[in-house]
Amino acid sequence: MKKVVSLNAPSSKEQEISSKDTTEILDFVKSALVGTGQKEYYNTKEEQREALLRVHTPVFSKHREFYAFLLLSQINDLNKQIIIYNLLANGRNISKKKREVENKLILCSLNKMRTSRAYRTLVMLAENKVNNSRTRGLVETWLKNRSNYIVEFVKYKDKAKRIIVHNHIHIDNEVWDFLFKTKKKDFKNQLFNDYYEARRNPNKLYELPYTIAEGFASYHNIDRKEFLEKIKKRMTNTEKLSRQTTAKRSGVKIEADWTKWELNRIYKYLYSLDRAPKTCKSELNEIADKIAQRIPYRYKNSVVIIDNSGSSYGSNEKKYHPISVSLALAKIIENISDNCKRLYTNNPGTRIVPKVRGATDLATPLIKALKHKPAFDSVFILSDGYENQIAGLVEQIIRVYKTKVDKKDKTMILQLSPVMAAESHSVRELSGQIPNVGILNENQLSGALLLLSMQHNEGKTIKQFTNFLKKKFEKLELNLSNFLLEGPNGN
Amino acid sequence: MEIKEILRGYEAGDPQMVGIMTMIPITTKTPYQSVGNVEDLVLEKDVSYQKLRFTNNSEEISIVPHGYMYLTQKEKAQDRTVGSTYLVDRKGTIEVDADCLEPSQGGLMRPGEKEWSLLPVGLKLPAFQKHGDQRYQSLWPDVEKYLKRAGLEGRAIIEFFKSYKDELDQFVAQFEPVENQVGAIILFGDKMVGMEVTPHYLFWNEMWRPIIRDCYGSDAVTLSKQGLGVGYKPILKEDVKNIADLESQTKEVFDKSKKFAQTVVDNILNEDVEKKETQNLGDWTLYDIESDNIRGQAVKHGPQHYVYSSVVYKGLQDPNVFEREFAPIWEKGEVYKKNEFKF
């Protein structure tokens, strides 16, 4: 992101959340959950990013405190990057106490992001000339508290240089020489020496960490299969997991502990196997349970309707993505409900992962769910919304159900879509009368449930959510000196 | 014989209904496997603007589907279509008549594997009628009419696919192939507009997207651009007191929709057709078939079993046909919101 649109300075007083504000906040959180800024079906990258920046403005201007606390939520990292930028670029006229809180939120957020995103965030600040003492202090503290900064400086050499120069950060002489000078001597730090050696000698690159070695493999035009075979012993489990598809394509076997994967990826992996591992069920439950503990919502009697029609296979580029996301969500919803039943649009078969085939008849399982005794209080429909047996029937069922049968609205019906609709940058609605949200993976479930409940009962939920984030903030631990909270000049 | 002879041994699946189009799956648990896949056909030579030579790389007999079409965006060559079905011998070659679909572009295609598609269903009838007339430009006027109906100018069918790419992509996402599917009967409104049967599941999977998107989807889009073909929407009545009532109404919608589809289809399937043999290859026979309402082709293996068919409704040429009132069980109305693609 080269240039960021400047925003109006926020008002010094937090405003009460009105119903109009609720709409703004809703739009913001909805897009912040799934908006990635990547090229979607209809929009260019630039259009996507401008749209994201535009939706930030109202919330930041009027509800700075809530906006800052969103750094603890599950909105995606791109939007957290924008929040960090806005907070640091517009830091005047806020109290010292609020600044301390924001600093803590920013540091935690940077720590939790993927390393590449965190460095990109700091480079973005430099590129947009955000140059106040508060920012310089924060950046220096963050950099110097990185446990693996030597490896990071080697991997993100250019970014590190930019950040260090812009923020006037004093660093060790040897690190400075590595970053800014052409190699003229032997370094004490062996990694720096290996880096320069690998440039000249391709055999040396296999002594570097995988992420750094990969760049040199490309530089030396090394065959992918050969590279993976030789480097795999140096890969971390996360790296092994994320390179499974590449490895398979290259004909290289890389063993990895699949239970450390994201839940939706585990389901995709299970689809690729002829037979699921014996311990699979218990491990899936354990993983889902851990995720469920981080989610602040609980349900009593719920039902999950999973669309396992042919379209839930996804595409050749993203095989089994929609169904895997749905299964992950269903698993977690089962863990946050006292009682939960599962229904499918098509016969799932007997394997641990359901068969994916057939047309989309959501009406039949929906009726089954609605007539269940005892009644469910929550119905989750996990579907891309492309209904064809018969298109429009679910909308009719919901319309009549809500007006004639469930007049007191005791049953909450929600739609979560694991894909964005091809024709718009949003979810394909099954019915305009039920809340709906798009969700890319199970890590966004909290945010998605917030959005869904906001659509179901606005206003009240924003307060609940803010309180939840504040409580989360109180539990934060930062092993940093007090310096970080005040800034070098107490700013 | 009656058209339904072609479907002897097959079964109808539950209809999928989205807007103007209904797709009734044709299924079988005993597909005929001894036919090569469509992907086994390779262009051996672009002989001339009106002749293409194919090679069948399969160990089995293969079938060139009716309306097989090349849109050569990646090379400077004329787009072409094959206006007839052909049987191709095992590991054999065949030279077929072709029609040009791109007047403004000269050039012949390079041999080899290529992306292929199928002709829009509204052009299949003229393609049947003019096939083999030794004039590569015979379809140009029909393409021009077709484009005009869709609000476009020119005589190159590629313009349609470029202009309506998004709508067609949305369209194909609406429908899904079902288990054991080898074919489909397609309705627009209360009219059966086509029937496609293929020998086996893989053949059908290869044909799926070209059939639903390029062949029938094109005409669904065209009808909507003309303001014809009102979308359907199942409407449930308000006299519901409890969930049992709602369930009963929903079941009624499903039952009526199946009955409706069956009634429409039966009207056509019971028609007598004239059958004329046009090619045979050992136990395989290709027929042209025609009745008052339909025109098409079918391939039979042995004395009884039809393994391929492509049949279209003649009335597609008359857009007024779609101005008729639809069956009273349906309400006219839009399935989608205003900012979405409408049928």
Higher pLDDT, B161 or B106: B161
Closest CA to B157 of B66, B43, B39, B73: B73
pLDDT above 60: residue A10? no
C-alpha angle B105/B110/B113, rounded to 5°?
Answer: 120
Q: Do B179 and A357 touch (CB under 8 A)?
A: yes
Q: Do B250 and A359 touch (CB under 8 A)?
A: no
Contact B109, B77 (CB under 8 A): yes
Closest CA to A67 of A58, A425, A337, A46: A58
Contact A364, A304 (CB under 8 A): no
User: Residue B69: pLDDT band by 50, 70, 90 thresholds?
Assistant: very high
Structure tokens at B235: 């409407």
Higher pLDDT, A173 or B56: B56
Output the pLDDT for position A290. 92
The lowest-confidence range among A72-81, A479-488, B7-16, B185-194 is A479-488
What's the mean pLDDT in B256-279?
A: 88
pLDDT above 70: residue A479? no
Q: Mutation target for A interface from B246, B258, B332, B334: give the one with most A CBs within 10 A.
A: B246
Output the pLDDT for position A15. 53
Contact A104, A72 (CB under 8 A): no
pLDDT above 90: residue B334? no
Collapsing DSSP to helix, strand or coil, B294 comes out as strand
Provide, rounded to the nearest whole percent, the portion of chain B with pLDDT above 70.
90
The lowest-confidence range among A207-211, A362-366, B271-275, B284-288 is A207-211
What is the phi/psi pair of residue B183, to 5°? -170, -175
d(CA A381, CA B263): 33
Contact B198, B64 (CB under 8 A): no
A98-112 per-position pLDDT tens digit: 999 999 999 999 998
User: Residue A365: pLDDT band by 50, 70, 90 thresholds?
Assistant: very high
pLDDT above 60: residue B166? yes
Contacts of B243 in chain A (CB under 8 A): 367, 370-371, 401, 405
pLDDT above 70: residue B271? yes
pLDDT above 70: residue B19? yes
pLDDT above 70: residue B338? no
What's the mean pLDDT in A63-73?
A: 90
DSSP class per residue in B121-177: HHHHHHHHHHTTSS-TTTTHHHHHHHHHHTT--SS-THHHHHHTHHHHHHHHHH---
Output the pLDDT for position A437. 85
In sign, the C-alpha dihedral spanning B316, B320, B321, B325 is: positive
**Would you tell me which residues 342-371 of chain A have a C-beta closer than 8 angstroms to some C-beta of chain B?**
357-361, 363-364, 367, 370-371
User: Residue A421: pLDDT band by 50, 70, 90 thresholds?
Assistant: low
Output the pLDDT for position A439. 85
Provide, rounded to the nearest whole percent, the portion of chain A with pLDDT above 70.
84
Contact A326, A313 (CB under 8 A): no
Instruction: Determine if residue A64 is left, alpha or beta; phi over 0 gives left, psi from -120 to 50 gives alpha, anything else beta.
Output: alpha
Output the pLDDT for position A249. 83
Structure tokens at B245: 């009532």
Higher pLDDT, B255 or A480: B255
Q: Where are the alpha helices (DSSP H) in B192-240?
A: 201-209, 218-225
Residue A362 pairs with which residues in a beta bridge? none
Q: Do A361 and B14 touch (CB under 8 A)?
A: yes
Shortest CA gap B177–chain A (Å): 6
Q: Do B179 and A432 touch (CB under 8 A)?
A: no
Q: Where are the alpha helices (DSSP H) in chain B?
A: 121-130, 140-149, 158-163, 165-174, 201-209, 218-225, 243-269
d(CA A448, CA B326): 41
Interface A–B counts its CB contacts (< 8 A) at: 103
d(CA A145, CA A480): 8
Contacts of A390 in chain B (CB under 8 A): 15-18, 234, 253-254, 257
Q: Do B16 and A388 touch (CB under 8 A)?
A: yes
CB atoms closer than 10 angstroms to residue B171: 25
Q: Do B166 and A423 touch (CB under 8 A)?
A: yes
Closest CA to B331 of A368, A390, A386: A390
d(CA A489, CA B55): 80
C-alpha angle B2/B212/B25, rounded to 5°?
Answer: 50
Question: Cis peptide before A374, with omega less than 30 degrees from 0?
Answer: yes
Is ipTM over 0.95? no
What's the mean pLDDT in A394-406?
A: 93
User: Mean pLDDT across chain A, nearest whole number?
Assistant: 83
Output the pLDDT for position A43. 41
What is the phi/psi pair of residue A110, to 5°? -65, -35
pLDDT above 50: residue B343? no
B208-245 per-position pLDDT tens digit: 999 999 999 999 988 877 767 655 667 787 788 899 99
What's the mean pLDDT in A229-247?
A: 85
Output the pLDDT for position A47. 55
Question: Cis peptide before A413, with omega less than 30 degrees from 0?
Answer: no
Q: Do A400 and B236 touch (CB under 8 A)?
A: yes
Output the pLDDT for position A419. 75
Looking at mean pLDDT, say which of A10-14, B28-32, B169-173, B257-261 comes out highest: B28-32
What is the phi/psi pair of residue A489, to 5°? -115, 25
Q: Which residues of B touch chain A, with CB atoms under 8 Å apart?
A: 14-19, 166, 169-170, 173-179, 232-238, 240-244, 246-247, 249-250, 253-254, 257, 335, 337, 339-341
The lowest-confidence range among B35-39, B147-151, B171-175 is B171-175
User: Residue A3: pLDDT band by 50, 70, 90 thresholds?
Assistant: very low
Residue B45 pairs with which residues in a beta bridge? B53
- The structure's pTM equals 0.79
User: Residue A482: pLDDT band by 50, 70, 90 thresholds?
Assistant: very low
User: Residue B319: pLDDT band by 50, 70, 90 thresholds?
Assistant: low
User: Residue A46: pLDDT band by 50, 70, 90 thresholds?
Assistant: low
d(CA B277, CA A295): 69
d(CA A2, CA A123): 9
A428-468 per-position pLDDT tens digit: 889 988 988 888 889 889 878 877 877 666 666 677 777 77
In sign, the C-alpha dihedral spanning A275, A277, A279, A284 is: negative
pLDDT above 60: residue A22? yes
- Stretch (H or E) spanning B24: strand B21-27
Output the pLDDT for position A308. 96
Contact A50, A16 (CB under 8 A): no
C-alpha atoms less than 13 angstroms from C-alpha of A373 in its C-beta half-sphere: 2
pLDDT above 90: residue B339? no
Contact B224, B216 (CB under 8 A): no
User: Mean pLDDT across chain B, nearest whole number?
Assistant: 88
d(CA A67, CA A64): 5
Structure tokens at A382: 């996990």
Q: How far is CA A146 from CA A111, A176, B252, B263, in A?
A: 9, 17, 65, 72
Closest CA to A425 of A14, A12, A151, A51: A51
Output the pLDDT for position B342. 39
Shortest CA gap A359–chain B (Å): 5
Output the pLDDT for position B99. 94
What's the mean pLDDT in A70-80?
A: 85
pLDDT above 50: residue B323? yes
- The residue of chain B nearest to residue A422, with distances taken between CA atoms, is B170
Shortest CA gap A389–chain B (Å): 5
C-alpha atoms less than 13 angstroms from C-alpha of A150 in its C-beta half-sphere: 16
What's the mean pLDDT in B155-159?
A: 94
A142-199 per-position pLDDT tens digit: 998 898 888 899 989 999 999 999 999 988 888 999 999 876 678 888 889 888 889 8
d(CA A105, CA A166): 22
Q: Do B170 and A422 touch (CB under 8 A)?
A: yes
Contact B161, B101 (CB under 8 A): no
What is the phi/psi pair of residue A420, to 5°? -90, 145
Closest CA to A42 of A437, A426, A322, A416: A426
- Stretch (H or E) spanning A165: helix A157-166
